[in-house]
Amino acid sequence: MTLESIYFISQIVAVIAILASLIFVGLQVRQSNRAAEQANTLAKADMTQASWDTILVTQAQMYSTPESADLMQRGLYGAAPLTDAEKLRFSINMSNMLSTVESGYVLWRQGLFDETSHQRTMRSMAVYFESPRVRKWWALARKDRFVPPFSEIIDKIAARAEAKVRPAKKEEPQS
């Protein structure tokens, strides 16, 4: 065997070793990506569950006693005026609820909150905004407590709820 043959064989072996290394690195990168995707999925599930837990605790506190449940029932569905203390409690309850929903929205925007859960949360907000008192509270609270784009989404929910109450007038046909 000549020196030139040994040189070519060593070059072939080196190329095969490099290709094998690249294949191995590629497989490891693929495996790492799968592990990262699984970790992200678990993190998203954990954040979604934590957000739901917070929402449920907030709602439970809003309705935890007969007095607080009565306040929320009158605040959401009653037409009679609330006392100043009741207005304050109602405002704090709504602020806590929307702040909790807003944190879930921020997580959703970051890809850490499940899409289905986000949609369900927004549908739940639509139910609250069927209340004229909630819409009135929102008109006052939105500028001081909530920032875009969350406030813009809630504005749309409030506008849709208002439109259900006051449907657009049909134009009279011109004679």
pLDDT at residue 48, rounded to an integer: 86
pLDDT at residue 51, rounded to an integer: 87
pTM: 0.74
pLDDT at residue 174, rounded to an integer: 53
Half-sphere exposure of 85 (CA within 13 A, CB side): 2
pLDDT, tens digit, for every residue of 46-95?
Answer: 988 988 898 889 889 999 999 999 999 999 999 999 999 999 999 999 99
Task: Give the pLDDT band of residue 175 (cuts 50, 70, 90).
Answer: very low
pLDDT, tens digit, for every residue of 29-58?
Answer: 999 999 999 998 898 889 889 888 988 898
Element (H or E) spanning 70, and its range? helix 66-77
Is residue 15's pLDDT more than 50? yes
Question: CA 84, CA 54: separation in Å to the nearest integer?
Answer: 27
- Residues across the chain: 175
Interval 151-171 mean pLDDT: 86
pLDDT at residue 19, rounded to an integer: 95
Query: DSSP secondary-structure letter at 174?
Result: P
Interval 135-141 mean pLDDT: 95
Is residue 170's pLDDT more than 80? no
Instruction: Provide the mean pLDDT of the chain.
Output: 91
Question: CA 131, CA 76: separation in Å to the nearest integer?
Answer: 5
